[in-house]
A and B are shown apart, each in its own frame.
Chain A
Amino acid sequence: MSQTDVLVVGAGPAGLTAAQELGRRGIRVTVIDEYPTAGGRLLGQLYQAGDHWWVGRQVAEQLLSDISGHPAVRLRLGTSVSGLERRDKGWVVEDTSGGEPAMARAVLLATGAAEIPIAIPGWTLPGVMTVGAAQVMANVHRVRPGQRGVIVGLGALSFAVAQELRWAGVDLAGIVMPPPPRNGMPGWTVEEEWRKMAHLAHLAPTWMRPLSSLLRRAGWRRRLLAGAPQAGVAVAGTRLRPNVAALAIEGDAAVSAVVLQRLNGHGNLVGEPWREAVDFVCTSGGLRPIPDLAAAAGAAMHYSWDGRYDVPLFGPCGDTTVPGLYVAGNILGIEGAAVAMAQGQLASVGILRHLLGKPDGFGPEADQFALQLAEARRHAPLVFDPAWAAIHEKVMADFQRETREG
């Protein structure tokens, strides 16, 4: 059985930052990732933040170059972790390679997030993909997802990917809403989609920004969004069409059209549906953390009714309720890469304390990294979902209670 001090699951911004911090101190670290290239979501990120560009691929290359200076850090790519088992104060980590399981004294779960699908008739046709998949095609593989597409949903990535597709020379019919749910079908209401608008308004053209405070009020929001022109409002290199819903995707062997219909101020369908020709569709249902390994390893969890906010309870240094099991990055909630990196730094402190048996050690480092986390949040280019701040407070309070009682 191969032995290591720390096994990191996920080679994204959180996992690589933690590995770098630990490797710098000579701790033996193995980073496992299912993708053949390290970097996680950094590989596809490209946006303008204030006066500088965030080029995720360069951030990943910098991290990897730092790590290459620490021989104690090993990368194992193209392998998924399938299970964790606590044994002899350490962890047995099983993976999909079929080789011998690895033994580690501590495990860091930096498994990131998954996209939430939007199920509308025709969503299984070739040419329908999530916005994240379109981002990987365009920015990682440099392949256009199609000639003309449409984005369905106001997920966190809608605007960023719309802009990136525009830069890639892809034509978009705009960003439209998912249809209102009916017959008990799974989905969110149009009102819920619209509520996200208020938090994305800073991305809108300058003349629209004064409207953002109005968008926070339900009555105004309805009036403004229902009254938008059917062709939409220019945002992020495309057109946002808040009062148009995608009812279905059509095509024989692949996507050929999207069926659209107007929404009124109550989020109900009105008028006659019409078709627009597209050869690809991006669904943007938002992101959810992937806490599976934490739950399977027995960490106490916070659950949500729709599974969107399921996260392990965690402490200030990424500690879970299970000794030797740590968490960082989007497994804790959907935030940007800079936040994930600061969480990776904090988790490295938690892990060092555990390995060296110094529960109160590394105080100055912990304080510094906590400050960096607060800074990263303050300068975040966008708040993916304002619900996370309150959930984090509750989850961290529950963690304190659990660990005190335990």
Chain B
Amino acid sequence: MSKTESLVVCRCENLTWDEVERAISELKPTSLRQLKLITRWGMGICQGRVCRSLMAMAEVPDHAERDFRLTVRPPCKPIRMGILKDAEAEEVGEPCQDA
């Protein structure tokens, strides 16, 4: 009745626990960061704000180093692409011409 394969652990990327287990057994990630990069867990629009605690609680197998300190880097909230474009233009020092 409770099918674990249908258990979604990352809503943004529609990732199920079944897929996470398969990634762990087949690709043997050595850290949560590697697991994240393989599965895209926590890399969707919420950037882990919903699922990060689930990710931190996931039991990684013995061969994996218990690296729960997923680093936080700015931007700490989703921002528009245009903001990055403007920031880049500012750094490069060229006037930003909108197409």
Residues of chain A having any CB pair with chain B under 8 Å: 34, 80-85, 94, 96, 98, 114, 116-117, 119-121, 123-124, 179, 182-188, 247-248, 259, 273, 285, 288, 291-293, 295-296, 303, 305-308
Q: Which residues of A contact B78 (CB under 8 A)?
A: 96
Please state if A185 and B7 are interface contacts (CB–CB under 8 Å).
Answer: yes
Please state if B76 and A183 are interface contacts (CB–CB under 8 Å).
Answer: no
State the interface size on chain B (CB cutoff 8 A): 40
New A-B pairs, 5, CB < 8 Å, besides A183-B4, A185-B4, A305-B66: A96-B79, A96-B80, A247-B1, A248-B2, A295-B71
Please state if B83 and A98 are interface contacts (CB–CB under 8 Å).
Answer: yes
- 8 A–B pairs (Cβ distance < 8 Å), ordered by A: A83-B74, A179-B2, A183-B17, A186-B53, A248-B1, A295-B71, A296-B76, A307-B52
**Taking the complex as formed, is B54 at the interface, i.e. its CB lies under 8 A from any CB of chain A?**
yes
Q: Which residues of B contact A182 (CB under 8 A)?
A: 4
**Taking the complex as formed, is B35 at the interface, i.e. its CB lies under 8 A from any CB of chain A?**
no
Complex Cα gap A147–B29 (Å): 45
Please state if A82 and B75 are interface contacts (CB–CB under 8 Å).
Answer: yes
Complex Cα gap A130–B71 (Å): 26
**Taking the complex as formed, is B73 at the interface, i.e. its CB lies under 8 A from any CB of chain A?**
yes
Please state if A120 and B2 are interface contacts (CB–CB under 8 Å).
Answer: yes
Complex Cα gap A263–B11 (Å): 28
Complex Cα gap A226–B45 (Å): 41
Q: A81-B76, A82-B76, A183-B21 are in contact. Are A121 and B7 (CB under 8 A)?
A: yes
Smallest CB–CB gap between B33 and chain A, Å? Answer: 14
Q: Which residues of A contact B58 (CB under 8 A)?
A: 184-186
Smallest CB–CB gap between A58 and chain B, Å? Answer: 30
Q: Which residues of B contact A292 (CB under 8 A)?
A: 72, 76
Q: Which residues of A contact B4 (CB under 8 A)?
A: 121, 182-183, 185
Residue on B with the closest CB to A301? B69
Residue on B with the closest CB to A83? B74
Q: How many A-B residue pairs have CB under 8 A?
A: 106
Among A94, A120, A303, the most chain B Cβ lie within 10 Å of the Cβ of: A94
Q: Which of A81, A119, A285, A307 contacts B7 (CB 8 A)?
A: A119
Please state if B53 and A307 are interface contacts (CB–CB under 8 Å).
Answer: yes
Q: A96-B78, A119-B9 are in contact. Are A296 and B49 (CB under 8 A)?
A: no
Among A34, A247, A307, the most chain B Cβ lie within 10 Å of the Cβ of: A307
Segment 37-58 of B: residues with Cβ below 8 Å from A: 49-58
Please state if B1 and A259 are interface contacts (CB–CB under 8 Å).
Answer: yes
Q: Which of B1, B3, B51, B74 contacts A117 (CB 8 A)?
A: B51
Q: Which residues of B contact A293 (CB under 8 A)?
A: 76
**Taking the complex as formed, is B77 at the interface, i.e. its CB lies under 8 A from any CB of chain A?**
yes
Smallest CB–CB gap between B52 and chain A, Å? Answer: 6
**Taking the complex as formed, is B86 at the interface, i.e. its CB lies under 8 A from any CB of chain A?**
yes
Q: Which residues of A contact B73 (CB under 8 A)?
A: 296
Q: A120-B2, A186-B58 are in contact. Are A295 and B53 (CB under 8 A)?
A: no
Complex Cα gap A206–B11 (Å): 42
Q: Which residues of B contact A84 (CB under 8 A)?
A: 74
Please state if B74 and A82 are interface contacts (CB–CB under 8 Å).
Answer: yes
Complex Cα gap A247–B7 (Å): 11
Q: Which residues of A contact B72 (CB under 8 A)?
A: 291-292, 295-296
Q: Which residues of A contact B74 (CB under 8 A)?
A: 82-85, 94, 296
Q: A96-B77, A96-B79 are in contact. Are A259 and B52 (CB under 8 A)?
A: no
Q: A273-B1, A303-B68, A306-B53 are in contact. Are A119 and B8 (CB under 8 A)?
A: yes
Smallest CB–CB gap between B73 and chain A, Å? Answer: 6
**Taking the complex as formed, is B65 at the interface, i.e. its CB lies under 8 A from any CB of chain A?**
no
